[in-house]
Amino acid sequence: MLPHHARALLRTYLEEDIRNGDVTTRSLPQIAGSQAVAVILAQSKCVLAGVQEALEISSLVGAEAEALAKEGEWVTPEQPVVRIRGDAAVLLSIERVILNIMMRMSGIATKTRRIVERAKKVYATIRVAATRKTTPGFRFFEKRAVEVGGGDPHRYALDDMVLIKNNHISIVGGARQAVQLAKKHASFSKKISCEVRNDEEAIEAIQEGADIILLDNFSPDRIVRLLERLQGLNIRQSVVIEASGGIDENNVEAYAQTGVDVISCGALTHSYVSSDFNMRIENE
């Protein structure tokens, strides 16, 4: 079951697409009142995601739907993944919204799975996380697709945790000052992450008690040298080390080899290729 706000978003997507009604279906009066069965089939190999959304949309319009394949599993062309029964006109009206969501979510889940598998082949306990580089109004579904693909959703919104970025540091006057202020004014319940641009900022932030250090656009070699330095100072184990910036399936293994704890990857939600699905509807 999806949370209430996600179901509300799905209703909004339907309203955006249907507006005052499907004029095509209205122009074909023999469709009115007929019952039909729709089957959604994969048209490309992908990690399946968006099934829960398809079931929820069907429920919103009074149709009966069942999953024919599990989210998170690889599916192949022509494999049926969802079956929906209901009024033919209704099925026609929800087709595009369901397919759009499944195509995008499965594309994200597939990209995530491939990157996660490459990273874990090198370092079994590493986490691959998303970022907030998401589509306005579609963030929940993109983050959920990352989880389906085996990734970590990272923070959802600005109120999830303290994440001190380079611009915060520039305004405040330094990483040390920024972490000091955050520890003083933020709730004890919020972890403090600090993005750093060099070794000195990393050391300062750790010494001031940051929980997470985000290495911004560090090369793998540079990360290794920093981690060795932190180990020498006996402060490496006190923080989570996260690498970010330009990481994708082409270089994720090199970053995983450095020994960081987390790799965050904006490409999961902004540079994926949508998977292909179609819906076939027949009279029942």
> Can you read off the two tokens belonging to residue 28?
């074909």
- End-to-end distance of the chain based on CA atoms, in angstroms? 28
* C-alpha–C-alpha distance, residues 141 and 160, integer Å: 17
pTM of the model: 0.96
* C-alpha–C-alpha distance, residues 184 and 179, integer Å: 9
Query: Among 74, 77, 84, which residue's Cα sits nearest to residue 277?
Result: 77
* C-alpha–C-alpha distance, residues 236 and 213, integer Å: 10
* CB neighbourhood size of 100 (10 A): 16
CA 80 to each of CA 106, 182, 272: distance values in angstroms, whole numbers, following the listed order? 14, 51, 23
**Residue 96, pLDDT score:** 98
Q: Which residues of the chain have pLDDT under 70?
A: none
Q: CB neighbours of 123 closer than 8 A, spacing ≥ 6?
A: 256, 257, 259
**Residue 198, pLDDT score:** 96
- Sort 221 into a burial class: Cβ within 10 Å, 0-12 / 13-18 / 19+: exposed
Q: Which domains does the chain have, with CATH numbers?
A: 4-114+273-283 (3.90.1170.20), 115-270 (3.20.20.70)
**Residue 241, pLDDT score:** 98
**Residue 240, pLDDT score:** 98
**Residue 256, pLDDT score:** 98
Task: Tell me the residue ranges of DSSP E strands in 88-208.
Answer: 127-129, 162-164, 192-196
Chain center to CA of 77: 24
- For the annotated catalytic residues, the residue numbers are 133
R_g of the chain computed on alpha carbons: 23
**Residue 265, pLDDT score:** 97
**Residue 1, pLDDT score:** 83
